[in-house]
Amino acid sequence: MKTSAIFFLGLIFKAVVAAPPTDSISYDSETYNVNLEDFNLYDYDENLTVDQGEIEIRTVLPTEHRQIHSSQQLPEDSDEEESTPKLIDGSTQGPTTPGVLGPQTNAGLPTCLLCTCLGNTVYCDDHELAAVPPLPKQTTHFYSRYNKIGKINKSDFANLSKLKKIDLTSNFISEIDEDAFGGLPQLEELVLQDNRIRQLPELPDTMTFIDVSLNKLGSKGIKPEAFKDMKNLHNLYLTDNNLDHIPIPLPEALQALHLQNNNIQELHQDTFCNTKDVTYARRALEDIRLDGNPVNLSKTPQAFMCLPRLPIGRLI
């Protein structure tokens, strides 16, 4: 990933250097190095606020790309036109392969011109999108944070059999078709932080990471046994919702369960452990957050016996 990012930057850098210098554009290799370090695609910041996100946006690749291409100050358009196809998806197909820019969007542009495609990753952050754009079939990672998407349609992710990660942080999503994600055989990470979701749809059992924090999930928002068969689910983040129960059963692989700032009032003895089997140990689950809930953890001391660490929450 990093290698192709550097490659990508190299191409932009060449394109910029090739253009005659102007007052308005003063990119240099220093700047790009700094940006690359700031922009770590895979480091997950769970506490990301909208403000931090906006700062991040100014340093991400797609914005740089867009700034160069939309600048009115560039005296010659020909240089950047020439370099455009090389910037896109060059790693999987030749630059002249038809359809290399991805499917056509409603805006009349192929997805990889409207957004940015790097290898099989599609970046559409901060593009005022009202809907998920049609994605190339080979897409593995899709980022569309800070847009205005209100609904996820069943067809949006249909037939994307390679898709592993979807990040739709900070949109206006209030509705998701029940089968929108169900047909994705390789989906592992789903980030829906900061939306308006009341009902979590069916998710594939391949999930490893789910973040639906800062939404409107209530008591009926999560189906019974929703996470039971997710054998590789490590992180489940449901912070800042309106949940009044812990979604059980929790898969054995779970390492982090964040439920702070919900409305959980009581805990059952067997939520984490098994009172009938005192030898049972749930070793993986080291990080449970229950602070910001009206639950008194001291009332159920037996409920934590099998855990490596006590949950964080009210003990009085």
Ligand X SMILES: *[C@@H]1O[C@H](CO)[C@@H](O)[C@H](O)[C@H]1NC(C)=O
Which positions lie near ligand X, rule CB under 6 A?
Answer: 131, 151, 153, 155, 158-159, 296, 298-299, 316
Question: Hey, what amino acid is at 151?
Answer: K
Give the DSSP H or E segment for 118. strand 116-118
Q: Are 257 and 289 in contact (CB under 8 A)?
A: yes
What the block records as the tokens of 109 is 């542009």
Nearer to ligand X by Cβ, of 134 and 218: the residue is 134
Nearest distance from residue 153's CB to ligand X, in Å? 4
Nearest distance from residue 45's CB to ligand X, in Å? 28
> Own/partner pairs for 154-158, CB < 8 Å, 24+ apart?
154/178, 154/179, 154/180, 156/131, 156/132, 156/180, 157/132, 157/181, 157/183, 157/184, 158/183
Give the closest residue to 130 by CA, choosing from 141, 116, 114, 117.
Answer: 114
Nearest distance from residue 316's CB to ligand X, in Å? 5
Nearer to ligand X by Cβ, of 34 and 158: the residue is 158
| Separation between Cα atoms, residue 46 and residue 44, nearest integer Å | 6
Nearest distance from residue 248's CB to ligand X, in Å? 22
Nearer to ligand X by Cβ, of 275 and 298: the residue is 298
Nearest distance from residue 296's CB to ligand X, in Å? 4
Nearer to ligand X by Cβ, of 122 and 222: the residue is 122
Give the closest residue to 167 by CA, choosing from 119, 125, 208.
Answer: 125
Nearer to ligand X by Cβ, of 12 and 129: the residue is 129
- Judge residue 36's burial from the number of C-beta atoms within 10 Å of its C-beta, 0-12 exposed, 13-18 middle, 19 or more buried: middle
